[in-house]
Structure formats: C-alpha cells, structure tokens
Amino acid sequence: MSIEQVERYGAHNYHPLPVVVAHAEGAWVTDVGGRRYLDMLSAYSALNQGHRHPRILAAAREQLDRVTLTSRAFHNDQLGPFLERLSRVSGFSRALPMNSGAEAVETALKAMRKWGYVTKGIPADKAEIIVATDNFHGRTISIVSFSTEAAYRDGFGPFTPGFVVVPYGDAAAVEAAIGPNTCAVFLEPIQGEAGVIVPPDGYLRAVRDACTRTNTLLVMDEIQTGLGRTGTMWASDHENVRPDAITIGKALGGGVYPVSAFCADDAVMEVFSPGTHGSTFGGNPMAAAVASAALDVLVDEQLAARAKRVGESFRAALRGLGSPRVKEVRGRGLLIGVELHADAGRARPYCERLMNLGVLCKDTHEQVIRFAPPLVIAEGDIDWALEHIRTVLA
C-alpha cells in the first residue's frame, strides 16, 4: 500500500500525516518500513484500551467462529448480555446500539424531538434543540446543520432547521434560550475537536438545573470524552451531573469494531416503538461481543482512574516545559490540548516534527496540538515522549 494509491483512488476528505501504519500493539504502532511510533492520538479516543488488547481480540476471534450478523429481525445470544453490561456501566436503564458516533447522535436527535412531542407536548414540527458554538457531533447533514465551523457546512445546504446555537460555557445563555418549544439541550461536556475546551466550573451543573426547572432534556455527547478518557467514566461525572441521556461510541468498540449507542432511561427510550428507528448492523453479535469485552477491560483494569493519575502528571510536565511557544495546556485525564501562541505558527508543523521523532499526535483548530494516548500507555513512554515534545517546542 502506498500513500500515492490513497491519493489517486480515494476521496480527498482527509489530510493525514505521511505515516503508513502496518502493525500496532498497546500504545505503539509500526510503519511499513519497520519504524515504531508512540500513538498519542488513539484514533480520536477510539483506542482507550490500546491497540489490539488481548481480551478484546480473544472475544472477537471467538465470535468470528460462531456468528457475526443476524440483523435485528432476529435475536442473537450476545446482544442481551451486552445491553446489560452497558446499562450497568452507563447508569441508564436502556441502550439503543448503533455503529458510528454520528449514528448515535442522529438517534439522540430523533429521541429528543419525539420526547418533546409525545411527553412535553410541543406542537408538531416545532421542537428546538439548544446546542453550543464550536460543537462537533459528527458529519451528517443534520449534524453539520448546527455546526458553527464553516468548513463542515460549506456547500452542503440546505440545512435541517430546529437548532438554537448559544456560546459554549455560558449557562446563562442556555437558560435564556430555553423556550416553550425547547425539547433538549445537547452538549459535549468537554469540546474535543474545538481544541480540548474545558468549560468553566459549575457550567454543567447550572445547565442541568436549568433543564430540570424547565422540563427540558439534557443530553451529553460522550463519544470522545466518555469511557474513562477524562479520568472518570463520563466527563459529566466531574461535576456530579447526570444527564437524561448520552451518546457513546469510539472506545465502545475497543479499537476493533465500530460500535456506538444511545443510552437513556425508560422515560426517554420508550418514545421508540417497532418501526420507528433501526439499523441493519446495530447490535449485531460481533459488535456486542467485542463491546462487552471492551467494557470489561475498562472496568477491570480501572482505566478511568489510571487516566486521571497519569493525565494529571502529563499535563503538569507539559506546563513545566516552560516553552514560550505555548499559550495554554488544558484538559482532563488523558484528553489534553496544547494551544500555541499565534506568533508560534500553526500546530501542524509541530505535529510533523514530532512524527519525525516517533511521536504521533494531531493538530486541531490550527493552533492546538492534541495529545490523547491510549489509557494503557506506560508512564515511561510518556516520559520518552516528553523529551521529544520539549525538543520540538523549545
């Protein structure tokens, strides 16, 4: 395989770093030439358990020898145990499994709107969902309809109506925007794609209280931030906030298989009845077996607590570098953003230099270097990476 083949035969909708990965294990990947790199991106948090975790691979291999797909036209023996595991981990009574994060978000949008009509009594086709500036929830037409990033929207209109955008981190703006036709507030507890933006303390709690007072659903997108990434199982746990529903994905598939879900209690999930929503592959036995193992690894190996401890040390070390190029180091757990001063230039050249030194990371929003290694990363490997980060940022 060559980069030239991808450029010739693929759509040009990505601009990846010029490394071709051929093998991976734990926090390390190896390219086609045999050179090793430390993965500090984790496929945007899809590899919280690391590459090719033995327990997850064993579950996949075992299921491959049994049955991989039935569709939801029939039951399969893996879905029930998976749903129970996910319910216990998520804290919600029910889950609706899908495949990609964007599908989980689309499922959530449908649930929010239908709950607004069926339960809250909003007039037909008048439901509104409040979202935040600089959000990232996926790439479908409806999702980019409420994005504020021009690159995600340009040329893709007309857009889906029914969304109200307010500034992220401003709880008063959320409360002021809630009206009689508001069915839900939909937020990321930490904005990853926007540059690892951590909201002010008390923001999520204030939004939760406003939603409770106004009989409005609060739904959190935990696709990038959930499953231990930020040092707690869910990023909303940092403020002891329980939303009415969550969307999850990425690490739910353990880096092996695409799995996502919309999780909620009965009062929200009961808006779905046979025929109102579905997915041919959602909840398939292969996905259920892999996701069950992925959840078991997160819980048994206490990866959320590990992310908290290792992440605090990593952020402190990054701040301790004292680089004049760095404006701010922020994040929670092992979701970390290093924002550069404007006069330091764009972040991508720094990521390219780190790649040349054996460290893989990604720029976002031009000025931010994002570090999000697998939660299983060895502390010695972080120390090794820090020496190269110091060299590049010096």
The verdict on whether 221 is a catalytic residue reads yes
Alpha-carbon gap, residue 104 to 264, rounded angstroms: 12
Among 92, 250, 308, 363, the active-site one is 250
Cis peptide before 158 (omega within 30 of 0): yes
Among 39, 134, 170, 221, the active-site one is 221
Locate 246 and state its tokens.
């969550």
Could you tell me whether strands 182-187 and 128-132 are parallel, antiparallel, or unpaired per DSSP bridges?
A: parallel
The verdict on whether 262 is a catalytic residue reads no
Alpha-carbon torsion (284, 285, 290, 295), positive or negative = positive
Alpha-carbon gap, residue 88 to 86, rounded angstroms: 5
Q: Distances in Å between the alpha carbon of 131 and those of 145, 146, 196, 287?
A: 11, 7, 17, 30
Burial class (CB in 10 A: 0-12, 13-18, 19+), 280: exposed
SS3 207: helix
β-strand partners of 373: none
Among 82, 92, 136, 262, the active-site one is 136
- Does residue 156 contact residue 296 with C-beta atoms inside 8 Å? no
The verdict on whether 114 is a catalytic residue reads no
DSSP string, 60-98: HHHHHTT-----TTS--TTHHHHHHHHHHHH--SEEEEE
Q: Which residues are catalytic?
A: 136, 221, 250
